[in-house]
Structure 1
């Protein structure tokens, strides 16, 4: 397995498990200012082979809106190669364990690899905060708490795995985001079941442009999910609050159950609690490939690799779901894959902690800091699940962010496709408004009950 080193600090981090607070290095800030790194901390230059281009900072053309699908800005591209089970060995260095397993297990599965498009561009205000964070952000409590950070990824040049995962968690996904999405479960026999249609609203106090680190409350995100289908579950609602202090306050959650007509505090919407609407194929901490507290894992930064990952998948999200969902995997003709540099983080259980995934490996896109692939191993050391997250490009914002994602159970053959907006419309991005926080409270959850 070949890893690329950015600098001396990253090379050292590849061999170490984080044990204490990190201190920003002056050369990190200098690299951001000089232009050798992008304003988001990625390598600006392309790779030696020319298969990964330099980042030019130009947002793709804007198309679509909150009520329409955002068109594929790269629709004219053609695959430059196709990887199948027959030729996977030739490309093994650029494939994850999970991708190799799907190629070997699922008949007809393939990767259509397109030219790499570094489409991740963000507002200048975000870049300004990232530069400030490079010298003010630090970790405490063995990596579980972020201090001094605000309005952008906290660690543009990560020194350890916890910093990299905090970048993933706190990566920019808009200020207020709304969409309706479906969740489908596919059995090993090929049956397809719509288990949930959810109206999702997300608000990110961490990205309030009027805020600052000194006044930041510690709540980085609030989420509200209202279930509208199937009829048996319609009216259920869920609200969560995530914090930058996983040591003192990992996560809060509330549920509204229409049969009981009341809201109750929910202690079971985090970690490896199974997501009932995913039929046991994904847990609550599998959202976006990983979400929630890091207190059960030590995160080790393995370095950087060039990996073939799903990317720039506006077209996937615009297709009818019948053209997307296949037996054993997503329809390979619907998914765009590209070669990108990714940070690799390996999670192993802390002493005395438990999770159904005894080991996890995350592949974080250097341009967005978001996990685009993930693998999980069970307690017996068997490769158990592999996850894929699909990037939506919104040139009108601008931003690039994962939205839909899938988890494949390599042992049972079942899989789940979540965050699917194929049949439900577009994604709305709105400016932060503190008044909107009133919609993300337990009392608002109760008043929104429909049954």
Structure 2
């Protein structure tokens, strides 16, 4: 059975058909959700296990791809031998419009010579069995309260493998598995409308996820799902600055906490502005704090509507992008097409519109969540005048050695004023490190620790 939405959006999941009419604030886990996981129809992470009808999306086989880790810690591209099966340009994109987001089409139209090299689809997202075990438990216990702003009863895995509304899907994106303790150093580049390139920030980033303390117990989880610490090392004018944030599963009472250390003041200050649509100064106005990973933070300013599922061309399996020298990656108006791999994947489509009385520079957003990772791989934003304003792309790192697959680098393109930003770039800085959760490591993720780690 197919239901057609505007722009040929196809609902491909029976789970969505069953839940589309449920309200965002009253959703509860149901026994049939766990049954769907156990039946084998869905993967242990909630994706459709089968391929698509024409074979361009294969079945998920649950095998982690073979990835080698170099002496510098960089991960190899397990699909380096693949050749493009299709190339899409502005000249032929109309024939592929059903599989292209609005933002991707706008970018193809705007950037001369831009193309999408579409490779065979590889469903590389595989996660540890312990994560799958918690996903199954969450399917029978997780629920939303406070109009979708609070997750109750979830721990150790995505909370809603069979989503019934947009807030559940976005919570899956936020709480998707990205490791337990993750650290890396990454660069941020701003490319002006005229094509000038600037390294605006080098950031030493560490992330710890109490939600994924797999040695802990769900009933003892206190609602704090992630802590992030960022130490800025370049450019010299900003070196020594440090940020720390805490995210919670209760956006109703605790949207986000943030602290900032400035070397000139030699003190740590509470900073509620490290959230929402506060501009990221190092992104030159091209991205805000809630644009990280295409969307991050509290949902209290938006109503999230689940529009269904589509087959879409998205960036995917981008280890090759992350191992190239940055000079081979950055183009004048977009990423070098030769550095970027696109594939056809099924994505959940979530549309975010402002709640009554709330504001954000992005009056509407559309997020495309990969069904195999639940992470946003594309995003479009509209300004208050209803114009398509920005389009974002997130690039998936495959770490078969863990195993996991997660977006890391991302880009935002201003479709109106021009210019773009490429963030989370590890091309010149080394590798991503993953470690098991350790309570002792929390000592380094406190406001008091910022001053010692942030001094030049």
CA contact (8 A) 1:66 1:429 kept: no
Of 133, 154, 157, the residue aligned with 2:159 is 154
Counterpart for residue 79 of structure 1: 84
Hey, what does 2:58 align to over in structure 1? 53
Cα shift readout 1:367-391 (whole Å, capped 9, x = no counterpart): 0000000000000000000000000
Over 3 Å counting, the alpha-carbon distance change for 1:66 and 1:38 in structure 2 is farther
| 1:44 matched residue in structure 2 | 49
Partner of 2:3: none
Q: 1:102-121 maps to which residues of 2 (within 5 A)? A: 102-121=107-126
Cα distance in 2 between the residues matched to 1:38 and 1:8: 14
CA contact (8 A) 1:272 1:355 kept: yes
CA contact (8 A) 1:346 1:359 kept: yes
Of residues 14, 17, 20 in structure 2, which corresponds to 1:11? 17
Give the deviation of 1:66 after TM superposition: 8.1
Query: Which blocks of at least 5 consecutive residues in structure 2 are unaligned?
Result: 1-6
The residue number in structure 1 matching 2:349 is 344
User: Does 1:2 pair with 2:8?
Assistant: yes
Deviations 1:393-443 (A, max 9, x none): 001000000000000000111100000000000100001000000000011
The aligned residue for residue 368 of structure 2 is: 363
Q: Matched residue pairs, number?
A: 450
Rounded Cα–Cα distance in structure 1 between residues aligned with 2:211 and 2:436: 13
Unmatched 5+ stretches in structure 1:
none
Equivalent residue for 2:29, pick from 7, 24, 46: 24
The equivalent of 1:320 in structure 2 is 325
Per the TM alignment, residue 30 of structure 1 is displaced from its structure 2 partner at its CA by 1.1
Question: Structure 1 residues 157 and 65, CA, compared in 2 at 3 Å: closer, same or farther?
Answer: farther
The match for 1:177 is: 182
Deviation for aligned residue 1:29: 1.1
| 1:3 shift after superposition | 3.2
TM-score, length basis structure 2: 0.97
Cα offset, 1:67, TM superposition: 3.1
- Structure 2: how far apart are the matches of 1:259 and 1:163? 42
CA–CA distance in 2 between the matches of 1:402 and 1:38?
Answer: 20
Contact 2:34 2:140 in 1 (8 A): yes
Q: Confirm whether residue 418 of structure 1 aligns to residue 423 of structure 2.
A: yes
* 1:381 counterpart residue number: 386
CA contact (8 A) 2:9 2:98 kept: no
Of 293, 312, 321, the match for 1:307: 312
Which of 197, 200, 210 is residue 195 of structure 1 equivalent to? 200
Give me the TM-score of the superposition, normalised by structure 1: 0.98
Deviation, 1:65, is 5.6
Going from structure 1 to structure 2, the CA distance change for 1:66 and 1:401 (only over 3 Å counts) comes to farther
